[in-house]
């Protein structure tokens, strides 16, 4: 059984020799007309539906497979433009794999043309807890406020209402900050990127409760402009974010996973 990783033009891919992939067999390419499919022989018994379901339900195994798949795709991409295939694309044999590629040769070639010389960058925006300079905190400590310092920690009804009000104020502040920051980061990204595409934001299981992810954007960027994108989106913005609650993180360059499918869909 063959596992397929990516499609590219038939060129030498020397870096495939450096990666292990999903089995002990060598990672190689199958020529299909003007295209090449990066494949690896895998043991059929480990890639039946049942076996895959079982293995990939285990987090460690899912991670191992995902990283191995990603490594093969990345190794091929060091030599030429590639269209990545989703993990667990398997074929019964070389003939079936060739047929699958041949059937979609047109859109695949179009995708390679569109992605050539371009890379994907991830831009993620996180918002953290308010710092000591936040309005809510300032108000609570204000000696000129209606209550003496420390009143908000009291147990009376008034203190409760005061706490409620302070919390609402801090939430409103946060929401408006998020809107402004996301708007700014999107605009900066759009000035450099050929295309952008929102990805789903990661949950607190990944980010931790203190830092909520509010934007997860994939950007398709011309080679040579990655640095510019990163510099623009990560530049601190004291005017919008005086309390420094916002953190912008850029990752890349990635093989343009998030734009491969879209390109084919456009061609339909």
Partner 1 sequence: MSALPAAADPYDFPGDPGPPRTANLADILERVLDKGIVIAGDIRIDLLDIELLTIRLRLFVSSVDTAKRAGIDWWETDPSLSGRAARDALAEENRMLRERIAEVEAELPTATTSGRRAASPTGERRGR
Residues within window 216-235 making contact with partner 1, judged by CB under 8 A: 223-228
CA distance 242 to 136: 14
Residue 252 touching partner 1 (CB under 8 A): yes
**How many other β-carbons are positioned within 10 Å of the β-carbon of residue 101?**
21
Residue 45 touching partner 1 (CB under 8 A): no
Phi-psi region of 28 (alpha: psi -120 to 50; beta: other; left: phi over 0): beta
By CB under 8 A, what part of segment 61-100 binds partner 1? 62-63, 66-67, 69-71, 73-75, 77-78, 80-81, 83-92, 96, 99-100
Q: What angle do CA 66, 122, 214 make, to 5 degrees?
A: 105
CB of 259 to partner 1, least distance (A): 8
Residue 46 touching partner 1 (CB under 8 A): no
- Choices 143-151, 159-167, 170-178, 251-259 (CB under 8 A): range interacting with partner 1: 251-259
- Contact residues for 192 (Cβ-Cβ < 8 A; gap 6+): 219, 221, 225, 228, 229, 232
- One character per residue 108-127, x = contact with partner 1 (rule: CB under 8 A): x--x----xxxx--x-----
CA distance 251 to 134: 29
Residue 58 touching partner 1 (CB under 8 A): yes
Report the residue number, 59 or 239, with the smaller CB distance to partner 1.
59
């Amino acid at each position: 059984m063959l596992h397929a990783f990516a499609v590219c033009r038939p060129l030498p891919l020397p870096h495939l020799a450096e990666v292990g992939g999903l089995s002990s067999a060598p990672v190689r390419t199958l020529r299909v007309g003007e295209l090449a499919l990066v494949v690896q022989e895998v043991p059929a018994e480990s890639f039946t539906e049942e076996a895959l379901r079982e293995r990939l339900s285990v987090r460690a195994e899912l991670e191992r497979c995902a990283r191995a798949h990603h490594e093969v795709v990345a190794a091929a991409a060091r030599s030429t433009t590639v269209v990545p295939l989703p993990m667990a694309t398997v074929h019964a044999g070389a003939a079936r794999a060739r047929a699958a590629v041949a059937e979609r040769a047109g859109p695949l070639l179009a995708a390679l043309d569109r992605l050539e010389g371009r890379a994907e960058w991830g831009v993620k925006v996180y918002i953290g807890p308010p710092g000591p300079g936040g309005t809510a905190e300032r108000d609570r400590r204000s000696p000129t406020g209606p209550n003496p310092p420390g009143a908000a920690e009291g147990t009376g009804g008034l203190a409760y209402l005061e706490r409620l009000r302070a919390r609402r104020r801090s939430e409103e502040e946060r929401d408006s900050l998020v809107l402004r920051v996301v708007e700014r980061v999107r605009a900066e990204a759009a000035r450099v990127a050929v295309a952008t595409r929102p990805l789903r934001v990661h949950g607190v299981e990944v980010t931790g409760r203190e830092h909520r992810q509010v934007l997860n954007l994939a950007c398709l960027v011309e080679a040579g402009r990655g640095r510019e994108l990163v510099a623009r989106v990560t530049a601190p913005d004291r005017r919008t974010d005086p309390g420094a609650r916002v953190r912008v993180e850029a990752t890349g360059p990635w093989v343009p996973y998030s734009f491969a499918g879209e390109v084919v869909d456009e061609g339909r």
